[in-house]
Amino acid sequence: MKREIKLALMYRDMWQSSGKYMPRVDQLIRVAEPIVEMGCFSRVETNGGGFEQINLLYGENPNLAVRQWTKPFNDAGIQTQMLERGLNGLRMNPVPKDVRKLMFKVKKIQGTDISRSFDGLNNPQNLALSFQYAREGGMIAQGALSMTVSPLHTVEYFINLADDFIALGAEEICLKDMAGIARPVSVGKIVHGIRARHPDIIIQYHGHSTPGFSVASALEAARNGADIIDVGMEPLSWGTGHADLLTIHAMLKDAGFTMPDINMKAYMQVRTLTQEFIDDFLGYYISPKNREMNSLLIGPGLPGGMMGSLMSDLEQNLSGLNTWFEKNGKSKITQDDLLIKLFDEVEYVWPRLGYPPLVTPFSQYVKNVALMNVIQMEKGKERWSMLDENTWNMILGQQGQLLGKVDDEILQLAEKQGRSVFTGDPQELYPDQLDHYRQKMKDKGWDAGQDDEELLEYAMHPVQYEAFKSGEAKSKFEEDLAKKKAPKKDVSSSATDHENSLPSVIDIEIGNEKYSVRVSYPGQKSGNVTPVISVPVPSHEPSNGNAHYIVSPLEGKFFLTKDSGEIGIKVGDKINKGDTVAYVEAMKVINAITSDVSGVVSEILVSKGADVEEDEQLIKLI
């Protein structure tokens, strides 16, 4: 008798692996019915991971989106699954215990059946609560093995890891091959080993197609006992996404497995609608590079899910780097040049950072460290001179223990900066906060929402939720989209040259208030006047111009503190060389800005949350 293989559609992940944004709820509702009518899926990935944060970023309520998007699949008897990041929940940094527990309860009520839980370091300790809370909330607890290839991540290691997850309460196992670099034969051996020890456990294979292994890996997984294979579909399969439904379906049928037939009329409707969404606005955030398969990724092993943001980061940093090259009489480099330098540096830094699996958020940390190393070294500075705070937390055990040993050079740098290694349970570092956010909502007059879903969203994504509630997120998104849709100007014209030479921002002082004035010209949008931090100038400031400016080492958003519990510097504070004075949030991580001299804070030149450019002056010292 032929064995049945089931298929799961990664509709959410298809978008995240391709670009920055995902369809609006009205678009999701339109595409849900034809997905059901295709008749070949037992599961659809509907939410989780960065999905709900992205809703907030373009001004949409994620709770409304999840409820309406899961309903058609619930009604049709198709299981829905979400992705969650263990200790990090639905975000990039650790989440308090009470917020994690509420998340599973809310998501089940909203219509999500299965929680695929993974830990970026593959730490069973960090996933124990996820399995417990998922089951208590009525969800199926699936434990995901974050696949990677290193001398430490062997076939036996992954089989034993599955044992650990199942002992802690995982009801299913997923091989999460987020970069598609797991070698097919090894995938088969891992599935075979898990199946031999756990004959009745459901095993699901999830592989991105970027370097080209995933089709063979899916076949090896199926032959060795996997029950479900994750797939994508055109126009968002392949590239940094997933192997295509039609290919996997035909291959597995040829291999002797049974599966439902595909309703091709419905397939074409889903395909057409997806392309319509791309043409509407989503395509403006999809790099053509992410539609290509790339075997260069076999070496660095960066995952498909982060390639959308990676190409955006490269574009921004390339511009800043080439500007620096021009100022210093050096030749510009291309995006491909920077990409290869980045890949080479990832291969260098990854073992020295302790071999964290290259999955969210640690793939971003490793990528960011490598990118900042490249940029700093291109400018003649030291490697490791821009280690962000999130990466330090990983190195020092605040998000769990690394499998490998951190390089002595980095540990010596930590000691020099007064940082110490944490060896306890990371969850202990993040106390409960639901009561705090519930009170904040009361103070603001906000409703906690049906089943406390708005409270969950606020506690999970406080900064993004506030921007959503104020309307700032939507207006910024619409402004950005308008810029992307606008026709490119002919910079060769003298009028444009003149326009580009005019100042766009000037600083003025009225009374005791300092203002940053954005200037507009005929044909442009009207300018606005944005107050910045107003500070008195100390009377003892020298008039000979002997002041020092701390500048931003990269483009991003400026903050004086990295969380609400900290107290930022203020005018008059004495600063020592090496002190952390502020932070710039860039590429999804927090970068500490340190002073390269000692002095007294004379002026803070940038307001909280403001966008800053590389080399922009942030703080004035005297």
pLDDT tops 60 at residue 33: yes
Per-residue pLDDT, 497: 46
* Cα 97 off chain centre by: 21
Torsion angle of C-alpha atoms 307, 311, 312, 317, degrees rounded to 10: 130
**Cα(first)–Cα(last) distance of the chain, in Å?**
82
Residue 305: what pLDDT?
Answer: 55
Confidence at 220, pLDDT banded by 50, 70, 90: very high
**Token code pair at residue 247:** 């290919």
pLDDT single digits (tens) 145-203: 999 999 999 999 999 999 999 999 999 999 999 889 999 999 999 999 999 999 999 99
Work out the angle between the directed axes of helices 97-110 and 124-136 (0-180°, nearest 10): 40
For the ranges 78-87, 340-349, 535-544, 578-587, the one whose mean pLDDT is highest: 78-87
pLDDT tens profile 91-145: 888 999 999 999 999 999 999 999 999 998 999 999 999 999 999 999 999 999 9
Task: Read off the pLDDT of each residue in 227-241 and give the average, rounded to a whole number.
Answer: 95
pLDDT at 334: 87
pLDDT at residue 234 greater than cutoff 70: yes
pLDDT, tens digit, 9 for 90 and up, residues 550-604: 988 777 788 888 765 578 888 888 888 878 888 887 756 677 788 878 889 988 9
- The pLDDT value recorded for residue 294 is 79
Residue 131 burial class via C-beta count within 10 angstroms: exposed 0-12, middle 13-18, buried 19 and up: buried
Q: How far apart are CA 97 and CA 434, in angstroms?
A: 9
Name the nearest CA neighbour of 419 among 399, 396, 398, 437: 396
- The residue ranges of every structural domain in the chain are 295-429, 493-531, 542-622
Confidence of residue 210 (pLDDT cuts 50, 70, 90): confident
Tokens of 497: 């040259």
Judged against a pLDDT cut of 70, whether residue 508 lies above it is answered with no
Q: What is the pLDDT of residue 127?
A: 96
pLDDT value for 587: 58
Token pair in block for residue 583: 């932070």
- Over residues 600-617, the pLDDT tens digits come to 998 898 888 788 877 788
- β-sheet bridge partners, residue 83: 48, 116
Q: In 3-state terms, what secondary structure has residue 7?
A: strand
Dump pLDDT digits (tens) for 58-67: 999 999 999 9
* % of the chain with per-residue pLDDT over 70: 88
Return the pLDDT at 179: 86
Helical pair 307-327 and 335-352, crossing angle rounded to 10 deg: 110
Q: Are 144 and 112 in contact (CB under 8 A)?
A: no
Q: Tell me: pLDDT of 539 over 60.
A: no
pLDDT greater than 80 at residue 316:
no
Q: How far is CA 490 from the centre of its chain?
A: 35
pLDDT surpassing 80 at residue 264: yes
Give the closest residue to 366 by CA, choosing from 385, 382, 388.
Answer: 388
Tokens representing residue 343 in the block:
């890949």
Question: Which of 142-156, 223-237, 335-349, 557-571 has the least mean pLDDT?
Answer: 557-571
Fold held by 542-622: OB fold (Dihydrolipoamide Acetyltransferase, E2P) (2.40.50)
Q: Phi/psi at 7 (nearest 5 deg)?
A: -120, 145
- Compute CA distances 182 → 175, 203, 328, 402, whole Å: 10, 16, 43, 20
Residues 246, 248, 251, 256, CA torsion sign: negative
453 pLDDT above the threshold of 70: yes
Q: How many CB atoms lie within 10 A of CB 343?
A: 20
* Mean pLDDT to the nearest integer, 490-517: 51
What digits encode the pLDDT tens for the residues 369-385? 988 899 889 888 889 98
pLDDT recorded at residue 506: 56
In contact, 85 and 130? CB cutoff 8 Å? no
Both tokens of residue 387?
């280690």
pTM reported for the whole predicted model: 0.80
**pLDDT value of position 530:** 42
The residue-averaged pLDDT of 422-434 equals: 94
CA 157 to the chain's CA centroid: 27
Q: Which of left, alpha, beta for 138 (phi over 0: left; psi -120 to 50: alpha)?
A: left
Determine the Cα–Cα distance for residues 217 and 237; give it in Å rounded to an integer. Answer: 16
| Average model confidence (pLDDT) across the chain | 87
Could you write out the three-class secondary structure of 274-312?
A: HHHHHHHCHHHHECHHHHCCCHHHHCCCCCHHHHHHHHH
Q: pLDDT confidence of 208, banded at 50, 70, 90? A: very high
| Residue 427 DSSP class | G
SS3 track for 352-388 = HCCCCCCCCCHHHHHHHHHHHHHHHHHCCCCCCCCCC
Greater confidence (79 vs 311) lies with 79
**Spatial separation of the C-alpha atoms in residues 594 and 172, rounded to whole Å:** 46
The model's confidence at residue 509, banded by pLDDT at 50, 70 and 90, is low
Nearest-CA neighbor of 413 among 355, 367, 352, 368? Answer: 352
